[in-house]
Amino acid sequence: MYSHHYNLRSRDKRFVEGDTVIVLDVDASSKTCRRWQGPATVIKVKPPHSYLVDMRDGRVRHVHANKVRKFHVRVQGYNVISEVDSDFGRVIVRVNVSENVFPSVNVDCGKLCHLSDTQQQELLQLLEEFGCCFSNKPGLCIGL
């Protein structure tokens, strides 16, 4: 009965050669002091559920799948790449380009017909001068 409910959501862990993993340290002095070590690399798959893992310190361990987890790299920073650097290969750069440079382009002239010509020109000049404050997306005013 209990095993049926446990097995409903249980999944086999599967790793392939070259995967980066972390390994539970079973050599610790007590059960409460065990820690995850890694990153390590899976060298060979030993069926059905064990692996040879290179610990990157000269040791190769034979580990059961219950003591292994996938290692996920967390990126917490970034660096600036210069145009003269060639080590990185092709780098994709996302650039935010505004759809229209001046908000006055989006103004329909039919909506300004109630204003005199000088007032229309003054309004369009104000829109161009303070264009950083206007956007089609709601949000905060940046600039000034």
Encode pLDDT of 11-28 as tens digits: 888 899 999 999 998 766
The residue type at 13: K
Task: For 68-119, write each residue's pLDDT tens digit.
Answer: 999 988 777 666 777 677 676 666 666 555 554 667 777 787 888 888 989 9
For residues 39-45, average pLDDT: 94
In this structure, the chain runs to a length of 144
At 24, which helix (H) or strand (E)? strand 20-24
Q: What pLDDT band is residue 140 in, cutting at 50, 70 and 90? A: low
Give the global pTM. Answer: 0.48
**Per-residue pLDDT, 64:** 93
**Per-residue pLDDT, 93:** 63
Instruction: Return d(Cα 70, Cα 15) in angstroms, integer.
Output: 8
Token output for 7 = 């097995």
Contacts by 99-108, CB closer than 8 A, 24 or more apart: 99/136, 101/131, 102/127, 102/128, 102/131, 103/127, 103/128, 103/131, 103/134, 103/135, 104/128, 104/131, 106/136
| CA angle 125–130–134, rounded 5-degree value | 110
**Per-residue pLDDT, 17:** 93
For the segment(s) 2-70, the CATH number from 2.50.20, 3.10.620, 2.30.30, 1.10.260 is 2.30.30
Q: Where are the domains of the chain?
A: 2-70, 91-132
Instruction: Return d(Cα 23, Cα 63) in angstroms, integer.
Output: 8
Token output for 4 = 């049926």
Share of the chain above pLDDT 70, in %: 74
Is residue 41 scored above 80 in pLDDT?
A: yes
**Per-residue pLDDT, 54:** 94
Instruction: Return d(Cα 127, Cα 101) in angstroms, integer.
Output: 11
